[in-house]
Amino acid sequence: MIDVLEIGDCRITAVRAGSYWWDGGAMFGVVPKTLWGKHQQSDDLNRVEAAFNCFVVETGDRRVLIETGGGVRHDQRSLDRMKMTRGVNATDAVAGAGFDPASIDLVINTHLHWDHCGGNTLDLGGRVTAAFPNAHYVTQRAELNHAREQHPRDGVSYRAVNYEPLLEAGRLQLLDGDVEVSLGIRVQIAPGHNRDMMVVLVQSAHQTWCHLADLAPYAAHVTPTWVAAFDLFPLETIQSKTELFERAAADGWWCSFGHDPVVSFARIVKAGPKSAFTVQL
Ligand SMILES: [Zn+2]
């Protein structure tokens, strides 16, 4: 499914690099199924579909790819667990949306969990190479440090093959905090899902699009207290979401979500006097 948003001089194309299925309880944390079940359908193993949402941003003569999905390095056990027949290479997904992978200038990994950078590299002729041959890649330095820590809580989400070969090749640039990575494209750390995950803000002609990544995996996470069980710092998730959603509602931002298999772009609007929000498609 290809979906396009135009703001000012920027064209943003949603590219889904396939999807996986994961436990609905893990996706919605303390929210009971009687509530989240109204938003996401689950299968007989209580799994909900999670798309690998990636985005191509075209601005001026630059092409920027945000996220590279889960890639293809999965054994049969993992494929069965995630109800995947096979993985999808981000290069194939991007090419399928009409973009030559060689035309991507910059790849942004909001964080280094496997489902956001699994398509960064390819195995070619016994070597691991950059999947986007002319791109440089960016992520947060503190996120890389956490990935290397291999903490028992979330070490399993980090696979060195997705980033270490890029570092060795001098292709992965490490960021220290909030920065404009390309004209009109800013990254901002939004703690909660983990310490250093970034959201991506694209601004043109006084309009804004924000990729929320795993700060809000689904549109249903528009309620700030709907927090995935994965999140390392749930109270900070609530705070980060509330702050961003207040800005999004006040300034009419378009927003996107890390894993929603249906909603590509939505506006976030106030749904009451307190910090209650809803999405407007
Ligand atoms: Zn994710």
Q: How far apart are CA 239 and CA 36, in angstroms?
A: 21
For residue range 171-214, list pLDDT tens digits in order.
999 999 999 999 999 999 999 999 999 999 999 999 999 999 99
CB-based contact 32:25 (threshold 8 Å): no
Burial class (CB in 10 A: 0-12, 13-18, 19+), 281: exposed
CA of 214 to the centre of ligand 1 (A): 5
Model's pTM, two decimal places? Answer: 0.97
Burial class (CB in 10 A: 0-12, 13-18, 19+), 278: middle
CA of 69 to the centre of ligand 1 (A): 9
Helix (H) or strand (E) holding 92: helix 90-96
For residue range 220-272, list pLDDT tens digits in order.
999 999 999 999 999 999 999 999 999 999 999 999 999 999 999 999 999 98
CA of 24 to the centre of ligand 1 (A): 14
- Per the listing, tokens 């790819």 go with 65
CA of 168 to the centre of ligand 1 (A): 25
Tell me, what CATH number does 142's domain have?
A: 3.60.15.10
Question: Domain span at residue 192?
Answer: 2-280
CA of 116 to the centre of ligand 1 (A): 6
Q: How confident is the model at residue 1 (pLDDT cuts 50, 70, 90)?
A: very low
Residues with CB under 5 A from ligand 1 (ion): 115, 214, 258
How many domains does the chain fold into? Answer: 1
Written as six digits, the tokens of 4 are: 């396009």
